[in-house]
Structure 1
Amino acid sequence: MAARTNLLNLESVTAHVPGDASRVLLDAVSLGVDRGERIGVVGLNGGGKSTLLDVLTGERAPEAGRVSRVNGLRMAHLAQRDTFPAGSRIRDVVLAGYDADHEWAADARVRDVLDGLGIADLERPTEGLSGGEKRRIALASALVGELDLVILDEPTNHLDVEGISWLARHLTERRCATVVVTHDRWFLDTVCTRTWEVAGGAVESYLGGYADWVYARAERSRQADAAEARRQNMARKELAWLRRGPPARTSKPRYRIEAAEALIADVPPPRNTVELLGFATNRLGRTVLELEDATVRVGGRTLLDDVTWRLGPGDRVGIVGVNGSGKTTLLRSLTGERELDSGRRVQGSTVKLAQLTQELVDLPKNMRVLEATEAVAKYVRFGKQEMTASSVLERLGFPAARQWTPVGQLSGGERRRLQLTRLLMDEPNVLLLDEPTNDLDVDTLANLEDLLDGWPGTLIVVSHDRYLTERVCDTVVALFGDGRITHLPGGIEEYMSRRAAAGVTGGSLSMASDPTANAGSTAATATAAGRGSASSAAEQRAARKEASRLERRMTTLTAKEEKLHAQLAEAATDPTRLQELGRELKDLVAERETIELEWLDAAERAES
């Protein structure tokens, strides 16, 4: 085995919060980065992750200890702050190291970075760029060079699912070492060969990515706690979901399979779907939110074209699509905030709707965190579980001491978490979340998912976080720019496959001078190609409506089937009841199979 080459080393490094020597972020930390190693950094917000990166790069000198780097180390650092020189163009920031176009154009790595991040107009000024565009420019600038080590602080922010997938592939195919802070757990598990956990001033090192780290924490808990406490440990619940899911979710199962299976043997599934559906139906009735023959146009593009979409009680739907595809506009159409250009929106009479937007809302700055939460409610019920406002705050990243902080002193991430807490405390029965993972660390994300597991209502999530979408949603739909809402039985993997089959390789909408026009022409081309067949537009529209109706019927039958299975289990000692239920189940399965065949036929006609 070849000897490992150490690129960078920390020896007994100590760092405090600037201006507050009593708050130690790194306490005599010693660690190193080897050549080719890909390290993910996890830990609570404010726990010292960004400080660790600043010390590694030399942007901050430690109060004690030593940092050593190999001679001639070629290193790039993506910080959380994206600032560019006044009057600069995208070319000046990304291609500063190249004197002529033919130099970078001949470099396959540079072309891959520009294409992967959707950077097309190099002459565009950096002034006036959106936050997401600035982030991609800064990321491209960090990746184009020939590097030994790249250090990235939240590189997945503002990237869509495809952009994150591209970045994961790019980093795993490069030979340079990587240290990355991100809350995207799919990314951590796909890219990283080692995980550093920053907590309490220490940095613990674990071999492998996110799944391996979860297993290590669960195993540590198993050894330290009694059997009952072990069953209640959330890390085991998370591990159970990881192991029960499709193999693609944990593409590097390096941890011991036998030990993992034994550890989760008595852990129930994350959600009791039948029980939650019963709660949701009681709270919501049959009608929740519906769009009937809805058309929505944005900036000359048709987002929805005569679409009928119905959300029922207990539905948990994830919405995916590239940046600019209209996901947020679809949420606003569902809530009624944005009027339809044609068609009808229907909202059930018992619906109590709440929406977490990407924008921060005004919060009572003269209150403390706990007071601002209890002003909404002091208790909240998630299914059968009742929780206090303080308990919910703690689950979402506010420890007891932090709950008495004035709201006006909170950071942007903390204000967003408080906004989400107040929404949940109001006990809505329909919840729409637009990019809920922004500014949440992995532990807080896991706690949020655990809370949503017991939340009995209809849930719609827009997120580029593949892990969260797969974890909390039962159904995934996509906006492909063709005026439809496309159901994806295969989830995000099917979404990626369809995009790849369409010849799309980049992440976000191209950053040309008019990205909306570019996206519109792409959508128009795809629509024209899809309709160049014998079927007329009217026939296709009729087939889509029929497929939608059949899909709703299949959902209803599936729910009934689950209830029948539960009733069969309860009637195990009653032979007469068992026979009656068995006949009902047989008839229901036969009807569902017939409906499935009809749906496949309608779906094929809709696509032809």
Structure 2
Amino acid sequence: MANLVSVERARLTLGTAAVLDDVSLGLSTGSRVGIVGRNGGGKTTLLSVLAGTRQPDEGRVTRAGGTRVDVLSQGDTLDPAATVAEAVLGGMAEHEWAGDARIRDVLDGLLGGLQAPAMGGLDALVGPLSGGERRRLALARALVADPEVLLLDEPTNHLDVEGVAWLAEHLVRRWSRPDNALAVITHDRWFLDAVAERTWEVVDGRVEQYDGGYAAYVLAKAERERIAAVTAERRNNLLRKELAWLRRGPPARTSKPKFRIDAANELIADEPPPRDEVELVRFATTRLGKDVIDLHDASLEVGGRTLLDRVTWHLAPGERIGVVGVNGAGKSTLLRALSGELPLTSGTRKQGITVRVGHLTQEVRELEALRQRRVIDAVEEVRASTMVGGKEVSASQLAKRLGFSGGRQQTRVGDLSGGERRRLQILRLLMDEPNVLLLDEPTNDLDIETLTQLEDVLDGWAGTLLVVSHDRYLLERLSDRQVALLGDGRVRDLPGGVAEYLRLRATSPSPALSGNPIKARSPEKASGVSESFSDGGSGASPGQVREARKIMARVEKQLSKVDTREQRLHEEMAEQVDDHERLRDLDARLRALHEERETLEGEWLEAAELVE
């Protein structure tokens, strides 16, 4: 494969920091590369060097003759006086773009709402649009241009779960040709795994290269550290924990690596699960009691729209719930209603007497009053120490775990970057020792390393957790179940997780679709039998509803057994990695388990429709 863009021995210094130090690499035909690294580490600088908008101090950058390069930067370069059509399609005639299936796919996938007549359609001006809508326009323009080399800087910003899934599918389908190449900077680990065939990590002026997406990157990095004979203390770092979770997750996560993983398996042979769920629930119950936050027959109207319609929801101690939904469905409003910040239009909200709510909003304006304070002072102002994972940690120690090194703790709050402010906001929230944590888009402005550190801290946090996020990886990593807001005023349970949400959205002609009513996990019901949050209306008789609930309870127990058998199979496959005959047999048993799971989930869904 020939290189479309080549970088040879490039050096680039910004201030006193060597951002690129003797870097040589190439974007070859047919390649899809994900670029990761810490904020400020040089990812965007590398992309600008590849794009030709910044020249290295030393070395050279060459491009194959006639190669067109297009870049999506994080800055807003759209003309506010232009129309949507002019911004995205340029001077292209209507019959030209309307007859091109690729362009229509981009317009429908990214600008579906903007094309509606009520929004002004393609003739609407760019100026009045929101920042998220303008970001979608810029991304659509880059995709419509169809260059040989496409460079994207954080393309998933302002995209919801559906938008991220569509973009991943589009890039894999359209940028797998032998005449083009793709490089994308992203902190979205699910997106990285779905799109990238190679991963570049920008660290300390170097660019380390790995085969595969995020899962392969974690495995390879663990293997490199093993080969480098890292110390026993280093073996217990976050990397092993993240690797252990990846190996326990869906098999597809580890299907891309093209190197031996037996040595990496040795690293996690004695690694416990990321969270001891039984112990955490026990701690949470001790701290919270049986009553956390209850909504009963709750309705909420904002601006004439019904965001919650007679919802009954009982949050249990130790529950970890991920919330997804279409933009504007009321996810942030739901958190405000649960926290008590927003009064209900009707219905009741009950809060346990021992509950301490910590609510992370999407705003960081609360830090403005602390602009002149040092980071460590802003943290210690809340509390000098706290308990994490059953151990007492000081404010300085927790700050270090969330990316504030000793020197950075002395920085003024007003001098912090957007990502550092977000970290400080989370840090102050955790130091306040809440036992109910509501997180609204916690991944905003955070790099992958910081995200893994945050997840590690929350793994040992005992309490009830609700997290709203478009980051699919984070939702699956932090929460034990997912629910959805679909714009119809109800909260829906997602037994199949985010994948089920995307299937439901794909098969629904309208934003508000029929799904499974959310089920409460009452702490008194150890068997996992759930009560419906729905107000009824399925038309089923009381006898049919009782029978349906029995079926759901039975199926839930069977699904739990399937989970246990699947876990044992994964463990056995890890042990038999060199026995190909045995692996084929285990793989066949695993496929049979997946089919059994699908059958059981279908049976559960049919019963849930009667309970609704």
Q: Same fold (TM over 0.5)?
A: yes
Q: CA deviation at 1:33?
A: 0.6
- Partner residue of 1:302? 306
The one-letter code matched in structure 1 to 2:10 is V
Aligned mates of 2:603, 2:506 — CA distance in 1:
28
Distance 1:83 1:406 in 2: 31
Kept in 2, the 8 Å contact 1:44–1:441? The answer is: yes
Distance 1:418 1:308 in 2: 34
Distance 2:606 2:109 in 1: 37
Seen in structure 2, the aligned counterparts of structure 1 residues 329 and 550 have a Cα distance that, compared at 3 Å, is farther
| Contact map agreement 1:190 1:251 (CA 8 A) in 2 | no
Q: Which residue of 2 aligns with 1:116?
A: 109
- Contact map agreement 2:295 2:348 (CA 8 A) in 1: yes
Q: How far does residue 299 in structure 1 lie from its aligned partner after superposition?
A: 3.5
Match of 1:276 in 2: 280
1:539 corresponds to = 537
**56, 59, 62: which one pairs with 1:62?**
56
Partner Cα separation in structure 2 for residue 486 and residue 527 of structure 1: 9
Contact 2:211–2:257, Cα closer than 8 Å, also in 1: no
Determine whether 1:88 maps to 2:86.
no
- CA deviations on 1:285-305 (whole Å, 9 max, x unpaired) are 111111100112234432221
* TM-score, length-scaled by structure 2: 0.83
C-alpha contact (below 8 Å) 1:543/1:606 kept by paired residues: no
SS at match of 1:122: helix
In structure 2, do the counterparts of structure 1 residues 194 and 340 end up closer, same or farther at CA, with 3 Å as the change threshold? same
The aligned runs of 1:172-571 (5 Å cut-off) are 172-174=172-174, 175=177, 176-225=180-229, 228-229=232-233, 231-250=235-254, 252-363=256-367, 364-503=370-509, 522-523=510-511, 526=513, 539-540=537-538
Matched, 1:139 2:139: yes
Q: Which moved more, 1:231-240 or 1:200-209?
A: 231-240
Q: How many residues align?
A: 537
Q: Distance in 2 between matches of 1:386 and 1:128?
A: 50
8 Å CA contact 1:434–1:462 kept in 2: the answer is yes
Higher relative contact order (CA 8 A, sep 6+): 1
Does the CA-based 8 Å contact 1:279-1:383 persist in structure 2?
Answer: no
Q: Report the alpha carbon displacement of residue 396 of structure 1 after superposing the two structures with TM.
A: 1.8
Extract unaligned runs of 5+ from structure 2.
116-120, 518-533, 565-600
TM-score normalised according to structure 1 size: 0.83
The residue type equivalent to 1:93 in the other structure is A
More displaced stretch, 253-262 vs 325-334: 253-262
Aligned partner of 1:11 in structure 2 is 8
Task: Check whether the contact 1:215–1:255 (CA below 8 A) recurs between aligned residues.
Answer: no
Could you tell me how far 1:222 is from its partner in structure 2? 2.0
AA aligned to 1:132 is G
Q: Is the 8 A contact 2:18 2:205 kept in 1?
A: yes
Is 1:604 aligned with 2:609?
yes
- The change in CA–CA distance for 1:447 and 1:542 in structure 2 (over 3 A counts) is farther
Matched-pair contact (CA < 8 Å) for 2:322–2:479: yes
- Do the aligned residues in 2 keep the contact of 1:240 with 1:269 (CA within 8 Å)? yes
Residues 123-166 of structure 1: CA deviation (Å, up to 9, x unaligned): 11111211211111110011102311100000001111111011
Give CA-to-partner distance per residue, 1:540-572, whole Å, 9 cap, x none.
Answer: 39999x89x979x979x99xx99xx9xxxxxxx
Instruction: Tell me what 1:170 maps to.
Output: 170
- Verify: 1:27 aligned to 2:27, yes or no: no
Distance 2:536 2:109 in 1: 37
CA 360–554 in structure 1, closer or farther in 2 if over 3 Å, else same: farther
The alpha-carbon distance between structure 1 residues 143 and 523, as it changes in their structure 2 partners (threshold 3 A), is closer
Identity of aligned residues (%): 57
Give 5+ residue unaligned stretches, structure 1.
Answer: 504-521, 531-535, 566-595
Query: Could you list the per-position Cα deviations for residues 468-522 of structure 1 after superposition, in whole angstroms to 9, with x for gaps in the alignment?
Result: 100010010011222211111111111112222225xxxxxxxxxxxxxxxxxx3
Q: 1:541 to 1:338 in 2, by over 3 A?
A: farther
- Secondary structure of residue in 2 paired with 1:318: strand
Distance between the aligned counterparts of 1:601 and 1:5, measured in 2?
Answer: 53
User: Alpha-carbon deviations, 1:96-125, whole Å to 9, x = none?
Assistant: 141x11111111111111111134121111
Matching residue's letter, 1:84: L
Matched with 1:511 is none
Query: Which residue of the partner structure matches residue 107 of structure 1?
Result: 100
* Distance across 1 between alignment mates of 2:29 and 2:257: 23
Q: Is the 8 A contact 2:6 2:62 kept in 1?
A: yes
Stretch moving more, 476-485 or 191-200: 476-485
> How far apart are the structure 2 equivalents of 1:12 and 1:233?
32
User: Which one of the candidate residues 34, 40, 49 is aligned to 1:40?
Assistant: 34
2:574 match = none
Say if 2:103 is the partner of 1:127.
no
Question: CA shift at 1:309, angstroms?
Answer: 0.8
TM-aligned CA deviation for residue 170 of structure 1: 0.7
In structure 1, distance between residues paired with 2:230 and 2:31:
36
CA distance in structure 2 between the partners assigned to 1:541 and 1:478 by the alignment:
23
Determine the C-alpha separation between the residues in 2 that align with 1:220 and 1:251. Answer: 19
Segment of structure 1 superposing worse, 226-235 or 449-458: 226-235
Q: Residues 310 and 535 of structure 2 are in contact (CA less than 8 Å); yes or no, is this contact kept in structure 1?
A: no
Distance 1:226 1:523 in 2: 51
Q: Compared with structure 1, are the counterparts of its residues 347 and 26 closer, same or farther at alpha carbon in structure 2 (3 Å cutoff)?
A: same
Indicate the RMSD between aligned Cα atoms, in angstroms.
2.8
Query: How far apart, in 1, do the equivalents of 2:605 and 2:488 lie?
Result: 20
Point out the more displaced range, 426-435 or 245-254.
Answer: 245-254
Q: Which residue identity lines up with residue 15 of structure 1 in the other structure?
A: L
- Distance 1:431-1:542 versus aligned 2 partners, 3 A rule: farther
* Kept in 2: contact 1:361–1:419 (CA 8 A): no
Q: Deviations over 1:163-213 (max 9, x none)?
A: 101111111111231111010001111110111111111111111111111
Separation in structure 1 between the aligned mates of residue 2 and residue 231 of structure 2, nearest angstrom:
43
